[in-house]
Structure 1
Amino acid sequence: MFEYALVRVMPRIERGELINAGVLVYCRAKSFVGARVHLDETRLRCLDPDVDVAGVRAALRGYEGICAGGERAGQAAEDDPGRRFRWLTAPRSTIVQPGPIHTGLTEDPEAEVDRLLDLLVR
């Protein structure tokens, strides 16, 4: 069993329009947490031509870094994968934010990250 959430970009919070830009996957049984991102800059600029694309990309890299652990995760590197996933999926009122958590079944959570990215983001 695994849990996943989309990473969404909502450049103008007041309008509520968003695009999916990544996916987070957590599998407790395999002690795995992973993230993959893909930002469609053209779609994003359709929602807001003046969006800070560099800032959005930096925030998305942050999701990947925290999931990867090591130096890229900063203080979160010491947390277990479940705790990192819960922190990343906590509700936020920022431009880059997580969606609701869903569940599924898989034998290979790492492959599931790529499958969900292709299915729900690209």
Structure 2
Amino acid sequence: MRLPYEYAIIQAMPRIERGELINVGVILYSQRLDFLAARTHLHEDRLRCLDPHADLPAVATALASWEATCTGAGAAATMKPGERFRWLVAPRSTILRAGPVHMGLAADPATELDRLLEVLVR
């Protein structure tokens, strides 16, 4: 049985004033299955095309924090998965941000998350 989920693309915008970005991950939330996870992939050469001086280790660390927040690590420990998802996809003016939230249907959200990462990021 396919169940609804919400997802957003995680985007890197190394020079906010220019408005140029690349997709670096996907975050997926299924309320019905109590599932929240993010998968990321930083294509360093693409990011360097937007900003040759981008701090790649800092961006990679920030991406890892998105994945950790999904699992409830750190300050997110007391938050429910839905609260963590809403917090991560809230608008922000930082190098990493979430794009618009979209909906879908899937039987297995983890498999769907891997598929979305392949299609939208890699």
TM value normalised by structure 1: 0.95
> For residues 111 and 92 of structure 1, what CA distance do their matches in structure 2 show?
28
Task: Provide the residue aligned with 1:62 in structure 2.
Answer: 65
Give the C-alpha shift of residue 79 in structure 1.
1.0
Structure 1: gaps of 5 or more residues: none
Q: Secondary structure at the match of 2:94?
A: coil
> For residues 85 and 113 of structure 1, what CA distance do their matches in structure 2 show?
14
Query: What whole-Å deviation, never above 9, does each CA across 1:4-53 have from its counterpart, x for those lacking one?
Result: 00100001111110000000000000000000000000000000000011
Give the C-alpha shift of residue 112 in structure 1.
1.0
Does residue 1:87 correspond to 2:87, yes or no? yes
Task: Provide the residue aligned with 2:48 in structure 1.
Answer: 45
Runs of 4+ in 1 over 6 A off after TM superposition: none
Does residue 1:14 correspond to 2:39, yes or no? no
> For residues 54 and 24 of structure 1, what CA distance do their matches in structure 2 show?
21
Query: What whole-Å deviation, never above 9, does each CA across 1:84-106 have from its counterpart, x for those lacking one?
Result: 00000000100111111000001
> For residues 38 and 93 of structure 1, what CA distance do their matches in structure 2 show?
21
Task: Provide the residue aligned with 1:107 in structure 2.
Answer: 107
TM value normalised by structure 2: 0.95
Give the C-alpha shift of residue 54 in structure 1.
0.9
Query: What whole-Å deviation, never above 9, does each CA across 1:36-87 have from its counterpart, x for those lacking one?
Result: 0000000000000000111111110000001122xxx112122111010000
> For residues 9 and 85 of structure 1, what CA distance do their matches in structure 2 show?
18
Code of the aligned partner of 2:46: R
Structure 2: gaps of 5 or more residues: none
Identity level (%): 58
CA RMSD in angstroms comes to: 0.6
